[in-house]
A = this chain, B = another copy of it.
């Protein structure tokens, strides 16, 4: 179904009164929703862990191990998504944690995986990693290749599934916004391979997949890339909210 068709159908089934009660992003979300694919069912007492690099870390307070702690969740999409989940589902007694660490590539997630993932015993695990696996080859001599990324990511998920066979996975696509500060032509086409790899890995592990690149691309129809990201990689506050919206669309209550 094309976007236009699904939008038309959505508008046909919604009365004017209910549309007026919805915000513009809700209407947009409803119109685009059919494209999204697999959703994760949230259950009572789920433990939700956000993992990744600086995009996830977002200055979280690292010595605060409490669940649902605002300071421990950082100032980006994990904070916004967790706030929304706790507000929507008070009966579910959810526990949300953020263990992203700035600068991380996949092998660095692996180095701290026992303490920062397996010991947390998540029932829902959200991972966004890959931009540094590519970016650091341009800026600080990192020698990993696309094959390193694929192999390390698969090994990490195999290990995770072995320790936590029932964990539900959400994998976010690495994205970049060309033309904003750090991201230029040198990124392409090589960076696209990391995006594609994350999609294929998500599929092979039965994960829900968040197509962040498409989401940032669409957002630029309403404001320039510099509105949604500060440097082409890290989200602005508006971009963090955009990412949280996409994340929330991968779960259902």
Contacts and interface: CB of A to CB of B under 8 A. Distances in A.
Interface of A: 10, 13-19, 21-26, 29-30, 33, 58-59, 68-71, 73, 75-76, 79-80, 82-84, 86-88, 90-91, 96, 219, 222-223, 227, 236-238, 240-242, 244-245, 253
A13 B22 contact: no
Contacts of A23: 88, 253
Looking at A84, A219, A240, which has the most chain B CB atoms within 10 Å of its CB? A84
A26 B17 contact: no
Main secondary structure of the interface of A (DSSP, over half): helix
A29 B22 CA distance: 10
Contact of A87 (B19, B25, B59, B91): B25
Contacts of A242: 87
B18 A19 contact: yes
Given A22-B26, A73-B237, 18 more contacts: A10-B21, A13-B15, A13-B17, A14-B14, A14-B17, A15-B15, A21-B26, A21-B29, A21-B33, A58-B70, A70-B237, A70-B240, A73-B75, A82-B237, A83-B237, A87-B242, A90-B223, A90-B227
